[in-house]
Amino acid sequence: MRKKSIYLVFIIICAFSCVENPNVTEDVYLENPHSVSSWVVGLKRQLAVTTNTVNVNVAITSDNYFNNYSQYSKVFDIPQIDYFDVDVNSLQADVQALREMAVYGLDKVITADASATAEDEAFMHFCLGYANILGGELFTGLPEANLGKMLTSGEILTLAVGNLDAAISLETDPKNIQVYHLLKARAYRSLGDVTHAVREAEISLSDPSLLYQIEFDGQNGVRNEMQNAVFDALPNRLAPLPRLDFLDPKYYAVGPPTTDQKPVALAKAEEAYLILAEAYLSEQNTGKAREVLQKLLILVGERPVVRVDDSGETRNGGNRTDYPLTAVPVRFDSTGPFREGLILDRQAGNIAVHTVSGTSVTLSDIAHAGGVDELLYQVYLLRQEIFIGEGRRLTDLGIKYPVSQTEQDNNPNVPDAYIIAQLPAFIPGNGGMDNFSTEPDGSIAIETDMNRIIVQNKTASEVVPFF
């Protein structure tokens, strides 16, 4: 109990750090007028912190990015995921910090502050639900509470649905309600529940361009770490898989980065269309899937695109020196056709930056994809490209982190089964997801097309939940 009390005082201080005297006890904090409003500020800060940890670690562990520098994990690219890894512990700690702050807000802060509103309470339920979505998607399991019994990924996602239902029942802002429905659709998809995922996705599309973003504050120590990794820091630390080069960077700064931190999408309408398309394909309904994907591409085409000077990007992190720097063709595996326009020459002028969503998939690709598997391939390529830099790819690959050694050492309820990462047999080792070769003419061949691998293994329990 002493450890838990210390932790709660710590998060109270973090949430209340905007006041002149941060040396505050729990009782004093709860007696403070409008403590809820400062707790909500603290939750928003923790949302940003957790987003940073998730986005960077998922990017490296997946095929999206290679860590080409000395910072961040040195082994997730392999992928090697050990329960004693400090990055595994940090990831779990930040996800659970968001959860514990939401729980404390609901249990203690809301009840102590007469000025609390239904919207404040809804936001806390949303944060709890989102923390549980992250826990269910990213981990083999997590304890239900501080030092609590272990829950499976599915049990955690089921809790998330209940949390979001509570948020919906209290919320008055129609946009936020649609966000919560979309997050429910995301949770139901991960659970493999086609019926409920489709229903929630359709409800969310009452706002057909829905977008909810996490904000950052560079002047107060909460920078967008993905932006730092792919644009602000020199040398840039993360290098994208060459076929994704045209989507990097998603986040950038004009002028001093401390005053220009770009937001990260937590929920956007694109996901609803992708869920619906995958659901139709699970029913062998290629016609409806095509219709939905066409609507999706129209939406992506309407998202903002800005021109940015990225001439400082020379892929010079140091771990690998053969990343292409000029506009050369690339193919997605050793046998596929070469494609132009996906690798950019950043010295030739400003590049197009897709700040919300971008994709290489065209209406023609959707029209000419024959059969379920070819359309399913397009769905997973779209998911990869649209969600790049948003911490989503690992779930599509079927990879989950283990519970950390720190958790097991302090929690007697953690059996050894939970300290082993979930790495599907079809995931290549030795950096195979990130690897590529350079042809004599400078063109690039990716070693493994992981979207093709996902579709080939669509009936495996770890991936493609509707099949």
**How many CA atoms lie less than 13 Å away from 164 in the CB half-sphere?**
25
Could you give the C-alpha distances from 460 to 189, 279, 379, 401, 428, in angstroms and in order? 15, 17, 17, 18, 16
From CA 424, how far away is CA 274, in angstroms rounded?
23
Domain spanning 33-456, CATH class: mainly alpha
Beta strands per DSSP E along 171-256 = 211-214, 238-240
pLDDT of 26 reads 78
pLDDT at residue 22, rounded to an integer: 56
Beta strand 330-331 with 444-446 is parallel
3-state secondary structure of 35: helix
Structure confidence at residue 23 (pLDDT): 56
Tallying the residues shown for the chain, one arrives at 467
Per the CB < 8 A criterion, the answer to whether 62 and 397 are in contact is yes
**How many of the other CB atoms lie within 10 Å of CB of 9?**
14
The Cα–Cα gap between 230 and 65 comes to 10
Instruction: Give, as one character, the DSSP assignment of residue 426.
Output: T
pTM: 0.95
The reported pLDDT for the residue numbered 14 is 52
Which has the closest alpha carbon to 160: 192, 193, 139, 185? 185
Q: What angle do CA 186, 87, 157 make, to 5 degrees?
A: 20
Q: Tokens 């061949």 — which residue?
A: 445
- The counts of H helices and E strands in the chain are 17, 11
Dist CA 401 CA 188 (whole Å): 20
Cis amide bond preceding 79, omega within 30: yes
Q: Are 102 and 124 in contact (CB under 8 A)?
A: yes
Specify whether the CB–CB gap between 79 and 61 falls below 8 A.
Answer: yes
Query: Half-sphere exposure of 323 toward its Cβ, with a 13 Å CA cutoff?
Result: 29
Quote the Cα angle for 137-83-424, to 5°. 50
Q: For each of the chain's 467 residues, which pLDDT tens digit applies? A: 334 433 444 454 454 444 445 556 777 778 778 899 999 999 999 999 999 999 999 999 999 999 999 899 999 999 999 999 999 999 999 999 999 999 999 999 999 999 999 999 999 999 999 999 999 999 999 999 999 999 999 999 999 999 999 999 999 999 999 999 999 999 999 999 999 999 999 999 999 999 999 999 999 999 999 999 999 998 889 999 999 999 999 999 999 999 999 999 999 999 999 999 999 999 999 999 999 999 999 999 999 999 999 999 999 878 899 999 999 999 999 999 999 999 999 999 999 999 999 999 999 999 999 999 999 999 999 999 999 999 999 999 999 999 999 999 999 999 999 999 999 999 999 999 999 999 999 999 999 999 999 999 999 999 999 99
Burial class (CB in 10 A: 0-12, 13-18, 19+), 461: exposed
pLDDT at 58: 99
Identify the CA nearest to 315 among candidates 326, 331, 329, 330.
326
CB 297 within 8 A of CB 366: yes
pLDDT at 70: 85
With a CB cutoff of 8 Å and minimum separation 6, the contacts of 339 are: 243, 329, 330, 331, 332, 360
Report d(CA 237, CA 231) in Å as an integer. Answer: 8
Secondary structure letter of residue 324 according to DSSP: -
Domain spans in the chain, listed from the N-terminal domain onward? 1-32, 33-456
Contact 225, 303 (CB under 8 A): no
Distances (CA, A) of 409 to 147, 226, 325, 414: 10, 31, 47, 9
Residue from 65, 97, 98 nearest 79 by CA: 65
